[in-house]
A and B are shown apart, each in its own frame.
Chain A
Amino acid sequence: MFLKKLYCYNKTLFVVFIFFILSFLFINYKWGMAASPIYLFGMFSGPVHLSEPQHLLVLSANDRKVDMSKYSFAKKDMMLVMPEKYLKSKEQNLQVYQLMNRFFSTLELGSLFDPYNYMNRIDDAGFTKWYMHYLAFVLEEPVNTFELSSQTYIWENNHIQALGLLQKLPFTSTK
């Protein structure tokens, strides 16, 4: 048996290996916090239904709608996911800090955690400036104006259909 051989070869390695496996199983069983390099590989595992509405950011640059099908999925995701991630960070970073602080306080390490270390130090204007630079890099042209809006879509009668009105995002820029 491999584990028996491993124990005979190197007891320290054996202990580290068993500890890692047990930690992995425990973290996955608890289903919440990860502990790098131990992760939860649960992507696309929860039920998703076709009847559920989905949200998408619609991007216009230099008064033209950006055709996402022209770009690699990595660039497309950078253009569309990053604004969502930025907006999400405003709430999530604080929530994660509060949870981590509570967790580390139980280990008497709460004093190490200063909220200032866990919050972003830019505002919407800072993000807008960065996003315009990034768009210029991907679109390979100077970007003077851009507009980001959120649109809801549903899958109905074998086709995609827009639902409701476009919702403009806070960092739309016009020069």
Chain B
Amino acid sequence: MHLKIDHIKQFALFYLICFSGCYLWFVTNGLLFSEINPVFFLNRLDFTGNIFMLSNIQYALIEYKWLRVLWDAVYLILPFVLVYTVYFSKKGQVVWAIATAVFALLYNYFFSMMSFVSIEGFVAWMFVPLVFAAKGTKGFYFSTHCIRILFLLFFFTTALWKIRSGGVFNPDQLSAILFKQHLPILVAGDDYWFSRFISFLINHQRFTYLIYLLVVIIEFVFVVGFFTRKYDRLLILFFCFFVLFDYFLMEINYFAWFPFLGCLYFSGLTLEEA
């Protein structure tokens, strides 16, 4: 099937639905600048991040309530404006796409410094808006494929990291991770089904190791996407499994990576002149 303008609109809507859902999750869990009202930050080894900090925005965000509200508002509004320009073919689409990506990078960098969340969970908001930074079906085709390759690379390297660091060769890896991750629940006692469930998993190390191994295999399998687009729908299924597993078993929210799936979903479409 050939790529049409309608496909770009569908992707834009999908991106907006994902963003709205994630933003709502963050609001209901009290995870916005204006809800946390941060008073400190934890710096980390990040070349560009430390350059951002030269602006002293971190102190302004701590000091001024109006700035925190403004950042939360701009972070919410930008994707809506971007999708509006894409959907109704308005001027300024390229500028809005780049502005949305850059602001998402800044917002999430500072937010992760001032809360418990990891910045790695937010990469989709920094890259997916760039899909709309190119105009027309031809531009969309190339930008979608570039972001698709980056997503595959990010996800595939998670498997390589587990091999390189040695986690995959450790038989009690997932049991130990579950113990570490769910310590507050385990301390609360066996009155809760989830606590009993986690205890069961911790005590069955062979079973949990198989789950860990399965996850590493799923992550590794994404390498196939570099060579063919034939299995992209299958990769979507694998990724959904991974995100659900992470959310319910590990209590880590990777739903914010969902917009990347649009790149896999639309990858099978060809250019009309091709």
Query: Please, what's the 1-or-0 string for B20-61, where 1 marks a CB less than 8 Å from any CB in chain A?
Result: 000000000111000111111111111111101110100100
Question: How distant is the Cα of A106 from the Cα of B122 in the complex, in angstroms?
Answer: 31
In this assembly, does A13 line the interface, its C-beta being within 8 Å of a C-beta of chain B?
yes
Q: With both chains docked as a complex, state the minimum distance between the C-beta of B255 and any C-beta of chain A, in angstroms.
A: 12
Q: With both chains docked as a complex, state the minimum distance between the C-beta of B177 and any C-beta of chain A, in angstroms.
A: 6
Question: How distant is the Cα of A122 from the Cα of B119 in the complex, in angstroms?
Answer: 24
B169 engages A92 (CB within 8 Å):
no
Question: How distant is the Cα of A103 from the Cα of B203 in the complex, in angstroms?
Answer: 46
In this assembly, does B8 line the interface, its C-beta being within 8 Å of a C-beta of chain A?
no
> If the complex has contacts A21-B153, A24-B153, A48-B180, are A85 and B119 also in contact, measured as CB distance less than 8 A?
no
Q: With both chains docked as a complex, state the minimum distance between the C-beta of B140 and any C-beta of chain A, in angstroms.
A: 12
Question: How distant is the Cα of A103 from the Cα of B45 in the complex, in angstroms?
Answer: 11
A97 touches which one: B35, B43, B119, B161 (CB < 8 A)?
A: B43
A78 engages B43 (CB within 8 Å):
no
In this assembly, does B115 line the interface, its C-beta being within 8 Å of a C-beta of chain A?
yes
Given contacts A40-B161, A117-B56, 15 further A-B contacts (CB under 8 A): A24-B153, A28-B157, A33-B47, A35-B46, A36-B46, A37-B127, A39-B123, A42-B162, A46-B165, A47-B167, A74-B29, A75-B30, A80-B184, A85-B40, A127-B40
B30 engages A120 (CB within 8 Å):
no
B→A interface (CB under 8 Å): 29-31, 35-50, 52-54, 56, 59, 62, 105, 109, 115-116, 118-120, 123, 126-127, 138, 142-143, 145-146, 149-150, 153-155, 157-158, 160-162, 164-167, 169-170, 172-173, 175-177, 179-180, 183-188, 192, 194-195, 199, 202-203, 205, 251, 253
CB contacts (< 8 Å) of A76 on chain B: these are 184
B179 engages A36 (CB within 8 Å):
no
B165 touches which one: A47, A74, A89 (CB < 8 A)?
A: A47
B120 touches which one: A28, A39, A153 (CB < 8 A)?
A: A39
In this assembly, does A99 line the interface, its C-beta being within 8 Å of a C-beta of chain B?
yes
Question: How distant is the Cα of A137 from the Cα of B166 in the complex, in angstroms?
Answer: 41
B50 engages A127 (CB within 8 Å):
no
CB contacts (< 8 Å) of A68 on chain B: these are 184-185, 187-188
Question: How distant is the Cα of A153 from the Cα of B179 in the complex, in angstroms?
Answer: 10
B46 engages A122 (CB within 8 Å):
no
Question: How distant is the Cα of A42 from the Cα of B165 in the complex, in angstroms?
Answer: 8
A78 touches which one: B40, B116, B157 (CB < 8 A)?
A: B116
A121 engages B184 (CB within 8 Å):
no
Closest residue to A59 on the B side, CB-wise? B184
CB contacts (< 8 Å) of A112 on chain B: these are 54
CB contacts (< 8 Å) of B49 on chain A: these are 34-36
> If the complex has contacts A2-B145, A54-B180, A100-B45, are A133 and B150 also in contact, measured as CB distance less than 8 A?
no
What is the interface size of chain A, counting residues whose CB is below 8 A from a CB of the partner? Answer: 77
B42 engages A93 (CB within 8 Å):
yes
Question: How distant is the Cα of A95 from the Cα of B175 in the complex, in angstroms?
Answer: 32
Question: How distant is the Cα of A118 from the Cα of B183 in the complex, in angstroms?
Answer: 32
A32 engages B45 (CB within 8 Å):
yes
CB contacts (< 8 Å) of A35 on chain B: these are 46-49
Most chain B CB atoms below 10 A, which of A37, A73, A75: A37
A37 engages B105 (CB within 8 Å):
yes
> If the complex has contacts A9-B142, A35-B48, A89-B43, are A49 and B105 also in contact, measured as CB distance less than 8 A?
no
Closest residue to A120 on the B side, CB-wise? B40
Question: How distant is the Cα of A174 from the Cα of B261 in the complex, in angstroms?
Answer: 50
Interchain Cβ contacts under 8 Å between A and B, 22 examples? A13-B142, A33-B46, A34-B44, A34-B47, A35-B49, A36-B48, A37-B126, A45-B162, A48-B170, A48-B176, A54-B179, A69-B192, A89-B42, A92-B42, A96-B43, A100-B47, A117-B53, A120-B41, A122-B39, A130-B38, A133-B37, A138-B30
In this assembly, does A169 line the interface, its C-beta being within 8 Å of a C-beta of chain B?
no
